[in-house]
Structure formats: structure tokens, C-alpha cells
Structure 1
């Protein structure tokens, strides 16, 4: 029974990760910002393999940041136009 619940949770997190990837791809942001967000998603995906609850919390925070328009800085721009 517990294994079934765990598998369900993995499915939910996987679906939410797919949604997050779609959101990141659709953003109109500099490429450096998009790359930073993609790296965050990769870290969350890796974390899900070891600690599903932590990955879900990280994903919640990332989705909240995306919804609120809080993005990492574009490190590629180097401050020049």
C-alpha cells in the first residue's frame, strides 16, 4: 500500500516537473536566465530520486518564484548591453 502511494507521489512530482519545464521554455527572458532555471529543474529532478519530499518543496518554491516573476540574474550578460 505504501509503495502505491510513493509511486503516486512520483507521478505527481513528474507531472509538475513537466509543467515547470514548459513554463521555463515559454518565458521571455535572456538565455542565461533560462539556462539557470533549467539547471534548477535538473537539480530538483536529481533530488527526486533520493528525497521526494525535498524535491517537491524545491519545486513548490521554484514554481512560486516563476509565478511571481522572480528569476535568477542573467550571468551571461556580464552587465554589458
Structure 2
């Protein structure tokens, strides 16, 4: 049973990561902002390999920031 819930969480995180990558690619923002967001997505992807629940939490936070138009500064 635990394995089934873990698999469902993995599938949900994978689908949301795909959605997040698509959204970041389509944003009309400076390249530096897009790169910062891409790095955040890479961190979430790496976290998913070790701690799926933490990755899901990080991804939720990132998606909320995207929804609310909060982007990193362009350096």
C-alpha cells in the first residue's frame, strides 16, 4: 500500500515538474529570470531523487510563486 502512494506521489510530482518547465519556458521575462527559475526547477528535480515529499513541497511553493507573479531578480 505504501508503495502505491509513493508511486502516485512520484507521478504527480513528475507531471507538475513537466508543467512547471513548460510554464517557465513560455514566460515573457528577462533571460536571467528564466535561468534562475530553471535552476530552481533543477533543485526540485534533484530533491525528488532523495526526498519526494520535500520535492513536492518545494514544487508547490515554486508554482505558487509563478501563479502570483513572484519571480527572482534578474542579475
TM above 0.5: yes
- Kindly report the root-mean-square deviation, in angstroms, between the aligned alpha carbons of the 2 structures: 0.6
More helix by share: 2
1:13 matched to 2:13 = yes
How does the TM-score come out when normalised to structure 2?
A: 0.96
Unaligned runs of 5+ in 2: none
CA–CA distance in structure 1, aligned partners of residues 48 and 66 of structure 2 = 20
- Cα separation, 2, equivalents of 1:61 and 1:4: 25
* Alpha-carbon distance, 1:2 to partner: 1.2
For structure 1, list consecutive stretches of 5 or more residues without a partner in the other structure.
Answer: 76-81
How many residues are treated as equivalent by the alignment? 75
Off by >3 Å, runs of 4+ in structure 1: none
The SS at the match of 2:29 is: coil
Partner of 2:2: 2
Shift of the alpha carbon at 1:4? 1.7
Shift of 1:16: 0.3
CA distance in 2, matches of 1:30, 1:48: 28
Give the TM-score, by structure 1 length. Answer: 0.90
